[in-house]
């Protein structure tokens, strides 16, 4: 339904995205996950037809952006990071207005507007002025305006940012209810968002897609290794360096602690390695105090850190995972 190939965007001398390639099957929800500045908004704006790419191709519902950009736009609904709402209009009035702009015929508009309100659970609020709505309701109106012309594909840029926990659950449920009948790409920098909402995830870092897979497969492919939580004393930067040099270790990160005298570290190793003994030996050999060492399982958070950390490239073999500079 959505095919993105070798997409790139250069702003002046800044390369925002490079060689971004992924596809989304009909009815799927793909999460585009990456840290701030990774290139998510740039990718989403190109997909939505709001920004021309510098290179690459994009097809939505079989239409090529270069050959038929109007058809691409008609087949897509877009929710930017800040929903484009007219605050003095009623929800219903606004949705009629958007439907007209999106080319829905006057005869079809009442039905399409009602259907969008129904999908977004706004049917009792049609006459309410948008300004008076909570942020969660405004977000639902933002999603309703994205689907009012009934596009098969929907692009949602950080749809839960700024919402309270209750509203986040509501919006996530709404997005999940749209899947199946719609194909969805959502961007986020929040990990739980992808594991809770998406069928697949594309991890983007510094303008490049570094992995594409289901959240479950990413976990099993990349977190087959061991995790350790350590409580140590001694110079932190040196301890991290010592640990990174232990064979099999791929990630060392600080963990929050209220204990000012001791440092808590989390260490993750490559799949099928158990370097626990070597970790303890290396620390003790270098004179660090080791007060606790606990074996834990790696998490999706660790996968994300492994793929987006700049400190060390991953020696990974999974075919959908690329390290810096390699082709997918």
Please state the φ and ψ torsions of residue 134, each to the nearest 5 degrees: -70, 170
> Parallel, antiparallel, or unpaired for β 289-297 and 208-213?
unpaired
Partners of 185 in the β-ladder: 30, 155
Residue 36 touches ligand ATP, criterion: CB under 6 A: yes
CB of 161 to ligand ATP, least distance (A): 9
Residue 38 touches ligand ATP, criterion: CB under 6 A: yes
CA angle (56, 57, 63) in 5-degree steps: 170
How many residues does the structure list for the chain? 328
CB of 32 to ligand ATP, least distance (A): 8
CB of 83 to ligand ATP, least distance (A): 15
Residues 133-192 that bind ligand ATP (CB under 6 A): 189
Residue 160 or 270 having the CB closest to ligand ATP: 160
Residue 39 or 225 having the CB closest to ligand ATP: 39
The three-class DSSP label of residue 101 is: helix
CB of 243 to ligand ATP, least distance (A): 30
Among 22, 29, 31, 34, interactor with ligand ATP by CB under 6 A: 34
For residues 143 and 2, what is the distance between their CA atoms, to the nearest angstrom?
19
CB of 131 to ligand ATP, least distance (A): 26
Residue 12 or 256 having the CB closest to ligand ATP: 12
Residue 11 touches ligand ATP, criterion: CB under 6 A: yes
For residues 282 and 292, what is the distance between their CA atoms, to the nearest angstrom?
15
Among 1, 4, 33, 42, interactor with ligand ATP by CB under 6 A: 42
For residues 30 and 47, what is the distance between their CA atoms, to the nearest angstrom?
13
> Parallel, antiparallel, or unpaired for β 263-269 and 76-79?
unpaired
Residue 212 touches ligand ATP, criterion: CB under 6 A: no
Pick the stretch among 35-43, 84-92, 139-147, 216-224 that binds ligand ATP (CB under 6 A): 35-43
Cβ neighbours, 10 Å, residue 268: 24
Residues 275-294 that bind ligand ATP (CB under 6 A): none
Q: How far is CA 238 from CA 33, 241, 288, in A?
A: 31, 5, 10
3-state helix/strand/coil string of 193-208: HHHHHCCEEEEEECCE
CB of 44 to ligand ATP, least distance (A): 8
CB of 191 to ligand ATP, least distance (A): 14
| Token pair of 36 as six digits | 């701030």
Residue 34 or 56 having the CB closest to ligand ATP: 34
Residue 40 touches ligand ATP, criterion: CB under 6 A: yes
Looking up tokens 């990071």 gives 81
Residue 42 or 75 having the CB closest to ligand ATP: 42
The three-class DSSP label of residue 73 is: helix
Binding site for ligand ATP (CB under 6 A): 11, 14, 16, 34, 36-42, 189
């Amino acid at each position: 339904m959505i095919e993105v190939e070798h997409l790139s965007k250069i702003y002046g001398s800044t390369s925002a995205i490079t060689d971004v390639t992924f596809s989304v099957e009909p009815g799927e929800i793909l999460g585009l996950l990456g840290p701030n500045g990774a290139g998510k908004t740039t990718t989403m704006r190109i997909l939505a037809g709001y920004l021309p790419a510098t290179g690459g191709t994009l097809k939505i519902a079989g239409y090529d952006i270069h050959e038929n950009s109007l058809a691409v736009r008609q087949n897509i609904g877009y929710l930017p990071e800040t929903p484009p709402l007219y605050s003095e209009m009623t929800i219903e009035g606004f949705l009629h207005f958007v439907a007209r702009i999106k080319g829905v015929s006057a005869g079809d508009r009442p039905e399409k507007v009602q259907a969008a309100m129904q999908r977004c659970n706004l049917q009792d609020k049609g006459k309410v002025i948008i300004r008076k709505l909570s942020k969660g309701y405004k977000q639902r109106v933002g999603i309703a305006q994205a689907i009012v012309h009934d596009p098969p594909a929907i692009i949602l840029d950080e749809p839960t940012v700024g919402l309270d926990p209750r509203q986040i659950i509501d919006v996530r449920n709404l997005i999940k209810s749209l899947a199946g009948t719609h194909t969805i790409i959502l961007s986020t920098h929040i990990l739980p968002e992808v594991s809770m909402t998406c069928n697949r995830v594309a991890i983007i870092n510094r303008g490049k897609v570094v992995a594409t897979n289901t959240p479950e497969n990413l976990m099993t492919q990349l977190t087959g290794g061991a995790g350790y939580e350590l409580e140590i004393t001694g110079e932190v930067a040196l301890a991290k360096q010592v640990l990174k040099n232990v064979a099999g270790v791929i990630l060392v990160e600080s963990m929050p602690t209220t204990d000012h005298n001791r440092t808590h570290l989390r260490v993750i190793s490559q799949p099928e390695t158990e370097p626990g003994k070597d970790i303890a030996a290396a620390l003790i050999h270098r004179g660090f105090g080791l007060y606790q060492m606990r074996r834990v399982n790696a998490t999706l958070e660790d996968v994300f850190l492994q793929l987006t950390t700049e400190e060390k490239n991953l020696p990974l073999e999974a075919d959908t995972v690329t390290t810096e500079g390699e082709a997918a």
